[in-house]
Structure 1
Amino acid sequence: MKPAVIFDLDGTLIDSVPDIHASANRVFAAHGQTFTPDEVRGFVGRGAPNLLARLAESRGLPSGGAFQDALLADFLTVYETAQDLTRLYPGVQQALADLEASGARLAICTNKPLGPTRAVLRHFGLDAVFPVVIGGDSLAVKKPDPAPLMAALDQLGGGPAVFVGDSEVDAETAQAARLPFLLYTEGYRKTPISALPHDVAFDDFAQLPRLVAGLIPA
């Protein structure tokens, strides 16, 4: 069976912080608050509810209850169509095409809500590339719980697999799922590369098909 290659999204395939930052500032402006890109980037990775709660806490605003529920609803309304500032990382499209050509089975496993995830994949013409997409609200739990990653693999039909991500959350998820982890070093991690458990680290997507083949030989 050909390998399954399961990808995180934000910080791995796309640089989405500019749109997340703009969307968060648009929502928080109603409460007299704005944030720098670095502030927002520091909270990306554990899903939209966590992002908004941490941003609210940093400004002394409520981080739960009705306030948080309304904030999340407003953010998702704005962010659903926010793709203009998001960019694919260099080499992503060619690497995905090469993996497809090799017969690899591809999926997304992200903590981004499913609606914005599918919207941004359509925006870049990648929706057909990923027959399986697990978002942060697809299951009752999110990464680093291994359940979303294992659900993606199960929907791909099981078999040999690797997980490709950029962050502490992704490294912990791969460990919990006992899958090989390829660490993209140009994303949103805050921890030194040497301190993150991984099988292979890479900074150029042109390397990825070869690295996958090295971890899961045909």
Structure 2
Amino acid sequence: MGLIVFDLDGTLIDSAPDIRAVGNRVLAEQGAAPMDLAETRSFIGNGAPVLVQRMIAARGLDPSLHATMLTRFLALYEKAVELTVLYPGVADCLETLAGQGHRLGICTNKPEAPTHAVLRHFGLSDRFLAVLGGDSLKQRKPDSAPLLACVRALGEGPVLYVGDSDVDAETAERAALPFALFTEGYRKAAVKDLPHAHAFDDFTALPDIVARQFA
């Protein structure tokens, strides 16, 4: 059996509505205009510090506000789960893969606290044997260190990394690991422009991809 590491936001969950709601509260406190969902999705992928930096730049706010706004964002973000949804088929797919004996992990740029909060919210905490967030190490994706650390925590075996974004594709490439691209998430580039071994738009297809990858 193999090791399957998943990204989280834009891969297993659509969290943009919650991120938007939290970000807009932080912006409102600075008297700035709110983000729409498309803009929010364009800011996601490199972790909360970069997201807040992009919010500040997009609204022409003073960059010196970053620390204050990030602290506020993280405080609100820890429990922001009510607007987040699993992508269709995710729960059944994870159950199938775990039932086949694969060891599952999470490697995300989302901070650890909200990562564990959303996994608890969906009853998925026990599905994952290793979880690395954006603040687990000094490095964040696309640095390969978090992904490789997650793989080491899962043990020995063939590996597949599953993600949705340009950041995930680059992370897998740097780690020299095969990558399965979920095409319905938050990617910015065209599918053809992202290095990947597999691409899918429906989680019912992932078990077959895993079987082919690990054959």
TM-score by length of 1: 0.96
Q: How many residues align?
A: 214
Unaligned runs of 5+ in 2: none
Partner deviation per Cα, 1:122-176 (whole Å, 9 max, x = no partner): 0000001012100000000100000000000000013210000000000000000
SS in 2 for 1:162: strand
AA aligned opposite 1:46 = N
Aligned mates of 2:6, 2:42 — CA distance in 1: 20
| Aligned counterpart, 2:51 | 51
Report the residue type matching 1:166 in the other structure: D
Matches within 5 A, 1:89-100: 89-100=87-98
CA distance in structure 2 between the partners assigned to 1:201 and 1:159 by the alignment: 22
What is the aligned partner in structure 2 of residue 119 from structure 1?
117
Q: CA RMSD in A?
A: 0.8
SS of 1:108's partner is: strand
Give the equivalent residue in structure 2 for 1:206.
204
* Alignment match, 2:101: 103
Partner of residue 83, structure 1: 81
Deviation at 1:23, TM superposition (A): 0.3
Paired position in structure 1 for 2:17: 18
* CA offset digits 1:51-90 (Å, max 9, x no partner): 0001101111133x4x211111111111111111000000
| Counterparts of 1:95 and 1:7, CA distance in 2 | 12
1:6 aligns with 2:5: yes
Give, in whole Å, the separation in 2 of the partners of 1:107 and 1:158. Answer: 13
SS at match of 1:125: coil
- List structure 1 segments (4+ residues) > 3 angstroms apart after TM superposition: none
Query: What's 1:149 paired with?
Result: 147
Q: Out of 180, 184, 197, which is 1:186 matched to?
A: 184
Tell me which amino acid in the other structure corresponds to 2:128: F
